[in-house]
Structure 1
Amino acid sequence: LEAVGCGVLIDGNRLEVQAPPWRADLTDPADLVEEVVRLVGYKNLPSTLPIAAAGHGLTNSQRLKRRVGMTLAARGAVEVLTYPFVGDSELDDLQIPIADIRRSKVRLANPLSDEQPYLRASLLPGLLSTARRNLGRGSSGVSLFELGSVFQGESVGVVPRPSVLERPSADEWAALNGLLPSQPMHLGVVLAGEREAAGWWGPSLDHGWSDAVQMAQVIAEVIGSEITIEQGNDQVFHPGRCATINRAGKPIGVAGELHPRVIQAWSLPTRSSALELDLDALIAAAPAVRPAPAVSAHPVAKEDLAVVVADSVTVAAITAALRAGAGDLLESIRLFDIYSGPQVPEGHRSLAFALRFRASDRTLSAAETAEARQGAINRAGLDCGAVIRGA
């Protein structure tokens, strides 16, 4: 240390070091240690590799996140990693309201760009920028997704700096952690342009809002969590083609067609769609072990029915009522037709469902099937005011 101009006073095992005025970088004991190592030579220090603790494989959360990525990739989506930085102009282009949590502004102390001084609170800005870039370079369609953290909170004032002489106390550590914003893991998807190219088999098919909603349903099924989907009202999305994704009655995401002004601001094809949901919330509700599906060797009983309901009744509501009324014998229910026009009262529509009944231990009789079907009709009438079409 004296060789670099330091004044050194030895007191037993204690060194008191006075840094020279031209070495303003020597401010902490760690700086002095680093200086000694530099002078002695890193090559003269013995190397000791740390011993890694025995692993236990991936956690359940890690396995599910990997499963989500593999599922989306199998459906033709490409995973991207975008920068987690945003600016006010991007949030304005998305039409995010001022009070929205996606307007959270966690400001960086040293941003790479003054135009993007904040950490993202939504995955959509980065995904939309990536979609625009690829479409601008000749791609006829893109299907992109990202698994990443978002930062929801506000910037704090002066952050306390603990001493480097010792480990921070429990109170200091808790205070530092308390300054951090919430950082949930989100899943973001952007679908734009062609989904299938044109060919001898027919014209090209474009991505639509229903593709984004279906991806949310597929992800929930893969994870093993139940979700409900209802009409949404998000300013980022088209007012008539937006769905809110709920888990246990709490919104955890949104999917649908982007608002025309958002599409114009980002120079995307018409009908471009997106999905963003809180993946941590979905995984937290997933079972640790999913039971294997029960497979029955007995034949299925098929029943189709069409009910007339008011336009204000959602498909999710009527589906839930039919499922509850049909009971345990119902294996599956699927909406296959929506009709409004002649033979249906004004302000109403006809919804046609395919119901499949099956028992695990016997072949269902005609009477059992009819009873389950009638139970579904009765419950739909009670809960939703539904009537059988043509009755």
Structure 2
Amino acid sequence: MRTGLVGAALLVIGAVLAVATGTHVDDLLVLAERIWPVLLFVVSITVVAELAAEAEVFRVVAERLARIGRGRTVALWALVIVFAVASTAFLSLDTAAVLLTPVVVILARHIGVSPLPFALTTVWLANTGSLFLPVSNLTNLLAEHELDGIGAVGFLSLTIVPALVAVLVPVIVLAVVYRRELARPYEPTITVPVGDVVLFRSSVVVLVVLVPALVSGLEVWIPALAAAVALAAVFAVRRRTSLRFSLLPWQLVLFAAGLFLTVDAAQNAGLTSIVAALAGTGNAPADLLRLASVSAAGANVLDNLPAYLAAEPAAGSRERLVAVLIGVNAGPLVTPWASLATLLWHGRLAALGVEISWWRFAGLGLIVAPLTVVASTLAFAVTR
């Protein structure tokens, strides 16, 4: 509910700023035309992920991972890394944070190890692992629009190097910080049969078809919406009680819409010139690092979404736009509000009784965020 209230407040603030700055209705229509496919994708993919979780797909995957790990925590952790990156890349960072957090926490408890390295792996890689595809992050979908519809393959070819580095750096930090916990052995858990085989198999089929469809070149909201409708139809027959209003991420949509409107109005009030002065110009490695650093700082001060919108006009080239994405995707690891995925992650942890103070989170983030942004930006700069 807090997210929805903040979103409503942002809509009011954005509307007031729009009136005060003389924003034209045509400009607001252009903004709406740009963001509605993004928000429709978010709604659709969230419904797909929630229903797949109801069908126990993610629990079964977690149990299979535990069995494949063969009693070695570090091997299981490596599998969780792969699962987290894949989920983030194809289902978006918010979806990964919401659905994987309870899976990895329950999994860690079942095998008798600390859930913290697994929980931090989820939230860090949900953010830093969101550079691979347009669907991985709302910021990427917005950037793809600026890249003239480059498509999933083109986007991946542009971001693959910084994306891999952005995954590697947090993994190295986690391996060092939690080396003792990850070295412990565990007893593999007993596999529990799924409650409804038809729902489970239907969800698996939908996900298997959806993943390649998201990178097929279609506008991503089309396959996501089709998948949501297909799964909803199956659940309407097999388990209608699961089709509840809470499946729809209305608070997230309200929050995102409020951010879009507020930042758009703030840009008309002079935010663009301020960010441009801070971000500088040029495509040299130092220039790209400056832009990525400003974007990362903006994400931690505001949120990654408004930080992207504020920094986007300062890009001006593909290379600089990727630097912005590195900053706002891989950088928001310090403050709780830097990424909505982080807030959702912490809410799930609290519900599961797992405690990690924001001070510890911020302290670790102050180590990993600068390392990740700098390493990813320089890797991109020398290989572009």
- The normalised TM-score by structure 2 is 0.24
**Structure (1 or 2) with the greater strand fraction:** 1
- The normalised TM-score by structure 1 is 0.23
Higher relative contact order (CA 8 A, sep 6+): 2
Could you say which structure has the larger radius of gyration?
1
